[in-house]
Amino acid sequence: MDFEIELQNIQFDEYDEADMEALYDFIDRLEELPNKREAIPAIFSFIEKFNDKELGSPGPLVHFIEEEDDYHDYLKESLSRKCTGLTVWMVNRILNSLPEEGKNEWLISLELASKCEYADEIAKGEAQRYLEFHRGEI
């Protein structure tokens, strides 16, 4: 399966919402593959490309990515390319699961995301809000 081509076939409706049935179908087909985790970079690319579209809350793509703890480096790479509301939310979910002494690396990632030149203002604002929350500033 060519992950990128499969994701390019996902359609969006007039409200900029992804065809959720198609996303779930993609994930179902992915789950059958022995190399399914190799799809993670393509999924992050898709999330970055369609950062202004509704992909779920968090949706099938994020649920698939978060099934295992092997995605953290891919998430950091995605944040450095183009942070999105969804990827910033994923960092928040990681931070929520860590003890205080394990959070510093992800707080730095959020700080960088809050200043990311390729991010939209919503993603930057979310990154700043999560950063302040996890630092105990709000």
Output the CA angle 76-34-40, nearest 5 degrees.
Answer: 20
Helix (H) or strand (E) holding 27: helix 20-31
What percentage of the chain exceeds 90 in pLDDT? 92
pLDDT band at 117 (very low <50, low <70, confident <90, very high): confident
**Residue 138: pLDDT over 80:** no
Distances, alpha carbon 20 to alpha carbons 73, 96, 126, in Å: 26, 27, 24
Residue 137: its pLDDT value, please? 83
The pTM assigned to this predicted structure is: 0.94
